[in-house]
Amino acid sequence: MSARFDLSGRVALVTGGNGGIGLGIAKGLAEAGAAIAVVGRDEAKNAAAVRELEAMGATAAGIEADVADAASCAAMVERTVARLGGLHILVCNAGINIRKPPDRYSAEEWRRILTINLDGTWQSCLAAYPVLCEAGGGKIITNGSMLSLFGAPFAAPYAASKGAVVQLTKSLATAWAKDNIQVNCILPGWIDTDLTRQARRDLPELNRKVLERTPAGRWGLPEDLAGTAVFLASPASDFVTGTAIPVDGGYSAQL
Ligand code: NDP
C-alpha cells in the first residue's frame, strides 16, 4: 500500500454503511486500513455488515442512528469515538428516494427526503466537525447523484436535495479548509443496489435507458465507488477540496 493511500490508524464513520454503496465504500476504506463505524437505523443490517468487514480482517463497529435526527448524529459520533478511539473520516452516504410526478408528493414525503438526504448530511458534518478539528484535520465525503447535475420528472425532491448536497459540500470545504478538513462529494451514476432495484420496479423502462445512456454499458456496482472514496479519504487528496466527482461510467459526460 502506497503511504499516500494508506488509512492505517484512521477511523471512518460511514452513514448508510450497512448496505449498497455505503458498504462498498466501507469495504474499500477497510481494505486501505481504516477501522469502520457502520451507521444505519437497522441493527441487524449493521451487525451483518460488521461481520462482512471483520471477515476481511478489519476492525468495525455497528452503530444504530438516524441521520434525520440531530441528537442521533451527535450520539453516533460520540459512540464512534468511544468504541473505535477517534474519528478521522466521515462519509455522509445515507439517503432515500421516493419516485413520483412532482405534483403527487405529500408535504410529509418532501420533508422526509430533504430531511434524510440534506439535513442528515448537514447534521452529520456538524457533529463530526469538533472531533475532526481536535484530530488536527480530517476528510468528509458526501454523496450526491447524477440528480445533483440533471433533473428528472420522477424525483423532484431527491434532485433538490442532491443538488443542495453539492453546494453544501463546496461551502463546508471553503469554511473548513483552515482546519485542514477536506470536504468532497462523490456523484454516483446508476449503481445496482436496493434503492435502484426498487426504481427498476417503479419505472419499467429504466434498465434499458440506463444501459443505453451509460458509455460503460453497464450498471455500476457498490465496489466501483471504493477507489474514489479511498482517494478522497487519504493523504493523496490533501489539496483536493470542494469537488464533486462523478463515478458514473461516463453517464454525465455524454449528451
Ligand atoms: P440503499 O437503499 O441500498 O442504502 C441506503 C442506506 O442508507 C442504508 O444503509 C440505510 O440503512 C441508510 N439509511 C437510510 N435512511 C437513513 C437514516 N435516516 N439514518 C441512517 N441511515 C439511513 O441505497 P444506495 O446504497 O443505493 O444509496 C446510498 C446513497 O447513494 C444514497 O445517498 C443515494 O441517494 C446515493 N445514490 C445512489 C445511487 C444508486 O444508483 N444506487 C445513485 C446516486 C446516488 P438503514 O435502512 O439501516 O437505516
CA 119 to ligand 1 center in whole angstroms: 14
**Of all residues in the chain, what percent carry a pLDDT higher than 90?**
96
Residues in the chain: 255
Could you give the 3-state DSSP secondary structure of residue 149?
coil
Residue 72 beta carbon below 6 angstroms from any ligand 1 atom? no
The pLDDT score that the predictor gives to residue 192 is: 96
Domains and CATH numbers, the chain: 2-246 (3.40.50.720)
142 backbone dihedrals φ, ψ, rounded to 5°: -100, 165
Is any atom of ligand 1 closer than 6 Å to the C-beta of 40? yes
Q: Kindly state if the Cβ of 16 falls inside 6 Å of ligand 1.
A: yes
In the predicted model, is pLDDT for residue 1 greater than 70? no
The tens digit of pLDDT for each residue in 141-173 reads 999 999 999 999 999 999 999 999 999 999 999
129 is known as an active-site residue: no
Q: Which residue's alpha carbon is at the smallest distance from atom 31 of ligand 1?
A: 95
pLDDT of residue 182: 99
Tens-digit pLDDT profile for residues 78-111: 999 999 999 999 999 999 999 999 999 999 999 9
Dig out the grid coordinates for 168 from the structure.
453544501
Catalytic residue among 105, 129, 158, 251: 158
Statement: the pTM of the whole predicted model exceeds 0.75: yes
Structure confidence at residue 203 (pLDDT): 84
Task: Tell me how far the alpha carbon of residue 56 is from its chain's centroid.
Answer: 21
Contact 61, 87 (CB under 8 A): no
Using the predicted structure, report yes or no on whether residue 16 has a pLDDT greater than 80.
yes
Whether residue 240 has pLDDT greater than 90: yes
Ligand 1 atom nearest residue 17's Cα: 9
Residue pLDDT, tens place only, 172-182: 999 999 999 99
Q: Where are the beta strands (DSSP E) in 100-216?
A: 138-143, 181-188
Distance 3 CA to ligand 1 centre (A): 31
